[in-house]
Amino acid sequence: MYGDLATKLILEAKRTKNLTELPIYEHELVKNILQETSDLHKDVEFLNEQQLTQTSMENDARRINQCQLFVTHLCLRRNKRCMLAYEKLRAGKIDEFSWLNIDPVLSGSKTSTSLGNLAADSIRSKACTKNLAIENLSHQEQEYFKKYQDILLDFKSSFADIDLSGDLEPPKEIFIDVRVLKNGGEVQTEYGVFNLIKDSQFYVRKSDVDRLIQQGFLEEI
């Protein structure tokens, strides 16, 4: 019956909730729900018209019309709620990812995926979205992602002294040992230049390398 497709979408949302990445947008399912919704909308218009034109409707007929109208309206409302919840869940995941300040995966290439995973491992909190593949987003979501990043950048630039998207773990030590996980060439920091050669180790100021840890170049030891 009506609403079954929307339930399918919500089950997909439930599965997505606990993932650390965003699965591909359910284009087909959403399209079918929209189709069903516009069918329902036509029914509502017809029933409304019937109510208006037949002012002298028998009591029974009016009751029937009222019941049909209620049921159709409720189906519409259910579809709307399911769709909005699905979109909102995904938007929330996109927001989470934007705060991480790491690049999304572009074309599903192996190297960028593993970078995402490395970065993911270095982030302690488990529930957040650590991986985002651009091609899994709908066009509207890609647009939303871009605009959210713009807003975020704008917001962050009004706090010049604090890196708002930095590590949320309270710092325990000022200096830490790090190991280089992959080659990254020369990197300029406030404290000086270092050369990222795989498997080399450094003793550095933590605040200098937070970004590199987030991006998966370094690992704290």
Partner 1 sequence: SMGYYDIDDILADGEKIPCRFNLLVPGLGYLEGNPGKSIDKDTKLDLPLWLAAVLAVCTILDDADESFVDLLEPDFISPKVLNAIKADPKSVDLHSIMSHFYTLAEKWAAMYNEALLVETAMAMLKERALEIDNFASNNTKHVSSNFLYSLDEFEKKLYRVTYESKKEMRAWTND
State the DSSP code for 122. Answer: H
Confirm if 114 and 217 have CB atoms less than 8 A apart: no
CB 154 within 8 A of CB 164: no
- 44 near partner 1 (CB under 8 A): no
Distance CA 215, CA 113 (A): 12
Nearest approach, Cβ of residue 74 and partner 1 (Å): 5
Rounded Cα gap, residues 15 and 112, in angstroms: 24
Asked if 133 contacts 22 with a C-beta cutoff of 8 angstroms, the reply is: yes
* Residue whose CB is less far from partner 1, 31 or 88: 88
Phi, psi of 84 (to 5 degrees): -65, -40
Nearer to partner 1 (CB atom), residue 114 or residue 148: 148
Residues 99-138 that bind partner 1 (CB under 8 A): 126
Task: Decide if 181 contacts 219 (C-beta within 8 A).
Answer: yes
Give me the torsion for CA of 52, 56, 59, 63, rounded to 10°.
Answer: -10
Cβ 20 to partner 1 shortest distance, Å: 14
- Under the binding rule (CB under 8 A), the answer on residue 206 touching partner 1 is no
Computed over its alpha carbons, how large is the radius of gyration of the chain?
Answer: 26
Specify which residues 175 forms β-bridges with.
Answer: 205
Q: Which of 44, 64, 128, 152 binds partner 1 (CB under 8 A)?
A: 64
Under rule CB under 8 A, residue 88 binds partner 1: yes
Contact between 66 and partner 1 by CB under 8 A: the answer reads yes
Binding test (CB under 8 A) with partner 1, winner from 2, 25, 194, 217: 2
Nearest distance from residue 114's CB to partner 1, in Å?
Answer: 26
Provide the minimum distance between the beta carbon of 115 and partner 1 in the complex, in angstroms, as a whole number: 26
Q: Which is nearer to partner 1, 4 or 161 (CB)?
A: 4
Note the residues at the interface with partner 1 (CB under 8 A): 1-3, 7, 10-11, 13-14, 17, 59, 62-64, 66-68, 70-71, 74-75, 77-78, 81-82, 84-85, 88-89, 126
